[in-house]
Structure 1
Amino acid sequence: MANKAPKGKGSRAKLRDFFIENVGKILDSDTLREVAGTSEWARRVRELRNEEGLNIVTHNDRSDLKPGQYLLVDKKPLPAFERGISKETRAFVLDRNGFTCQMCGAAAGEIHPYDNGRKTRLHIGHIIDKSMGGTDEANNLRAICSVCNEGASNLTLNRPDTIKLIAQVRRAPAKDQLDVLKWLIQKFPKQADELTKK
């Protein structure tokens, strides 16, 4: 493991420096947690992606990465999104959602069933991600716990089967279907090449 950032820096700065030192290398969540020195390390990684535009990818972006693996593709920044959710909007969304995660149902402050005995911490999450055109309006926001926010809930929640997924894609407008196709080709480049050769 490369040298960690000097003490005295915030966890976000430590993670930024560590990713840049290890550009192109696969980093795991345990290493990133240790580098950040906080349980909020995953939030700091999201901030680096969304607010600073670091091109950090996960298994959701590339098929060669496993859950819990992160990779800074290169140093070229992507469009960044400033945090624009006011305290009032955050309070409204949490109250509207009953201070309960809208994915797994865990309530704020209770022991989370999938987080090693830690208490549930709620965040505000976008229903449609900002990178896909979603807004910071209350109708596009929901209360979501740390576990679900990081995708760990995928291990416990039922995933839709192929028939349901295909039905949803067929119902979508052609532009959205093309966006899905582009994303799949980007995630599975080798398989896409093989299919086009047939």
Structure 2
Amino acid sequence: MVEKSKGARAKLREFFLENIGIKLDSNTLREVAGISEWARRVRELRNEEGLEILTHNDRSDLKPGEYLLITAKPKPSFERSISKETRAFVLDRNGFTCQMCGAAAGEPHLFDNGRVTRLHIGHIIDKSMGGTDDRGNLRAICSVCNEGASNLTLNRPDTIKLIAQVRRAPSSDQLDVLKWLVGKFPKQAEEILGRT
């Protein structure tokens, strides 16, 4: 068992590394971390340490609430770049309430089994989609909404716009998109390729 003196992030890192290639569910990860903010620590492992932890957003065979570390070798990662001053400004500007559901910091959250609402700073347009860390692109968001809103924007592109963007991209980027899609939908790709 993992020592109690370790932080939640270290416990989760160790647990994932001991279970490479094994689907892990959110209840198990919450128990291992020992805190309610376990999902944030998983995102930190992914974004700041580069661990390739996949979810249902990455592979169609993973259900919501399932996580899978595919390799111990980390990918390039991103440092946190939002200063404490900017965080304080955004929280104050947003009245210490979630800008998606209206939950107030410190009060019991309606959609999280009455747990105390904790606020984070979220991007309106995610960094992976070209968003910046400017104050105008940041908002206060609770843990519940932050988990559900990761990598989504209010204006989601439709199929025609996505295809147009892919068509304009260099061939190497198009191949990367294809590899990602085949990785996310292996069964469907096999069916399509089997028909041709």
Shared fold, TM over 0.5: yes
Q: Which moved more, 1:97-106 or 1:177-186?
A: 177-186
Deviation at 1:122, TM superposition (A): 0.7
Distance in 1 separating the partners of 2:162 and 2:57: 21
Q: Which moved more, 1:111-120 or 1:135-144?
A: 135-144
Report SS of the residue matched to 2:39. helix
**Cα RMSD between the aligned structures?**
2.8
Q: Which of 81, 86, 98 is 1:84 aligned to?
A: 81
Q: Please give the TM-score of this superposition, normalised by the length of structure 2.
A: 0.82
Q: Which of 160, 170, 192 is 2:160 aligned to?
A: 170
Distance in 2 separating the partners of 1:97 and 1:186: 39
Amino acid at match of 2:25: D
Q: Counterpart in 1 of 2:91?
A: 94
Q: Counterpart in 2 of 1:156?
A: none
Q: 1:103 to 1:187 in 2, by over 3 A?
A: farther
Q: Please give the TM-score of this superposition, normalised by the length of structure 1.
A: 0.81
Q: Quick check: 1:110 aligned with 2:107?
A: yes
Q: Quick check: 1:139 aligned with 2:133?
A: no
Q: Quick check: 1:61 aligned with 2:61?
A: no
Which consecutive residues of structure 1, in runs of 5 or more, have no partner in the other structure? 154-159
Deviation at 1:108, TM superposition (A): 1.9
Q: Which moved more, 1:110-119 or 1:177-186?
A: 177-186
Amino acid at match of 2:66: Q
Distance in 1 separating the partners of 2:94 and 2:159: 28
Number of residues of Structure 1 aligned to a counterpart in Structure 2:
185
Which consecutive residues of structure 2, in runs of 5 or more, have no partner in the other structure? none
Deviation at 1:173, TM superposition (A): 7.3
Distance in 1 separating the partners of 2:15 and 2:47: 17
Post-superposition CA distance 1:108-165 (Å, at most 9, x none): 2232111111121110112333344433222222211111122299xxxxxx9xxx97
Q: 1:170 to 1:98 in 2, by over 3 A?
A: farther
Deviation at 1:70, TM superposition (A): 0.8
Q: Is the 8 A contact 1:63 1:188 kept in 2?
A: yes
Q: 1:77 to 1:132 in 2, by over 3 A?
A: farther
* Amino-acid identity (%): 71
Q: Is the 8 A contact 1:81 1:130 kept in 2?
A: no
Report SS of the residue matched to 2:86. helix
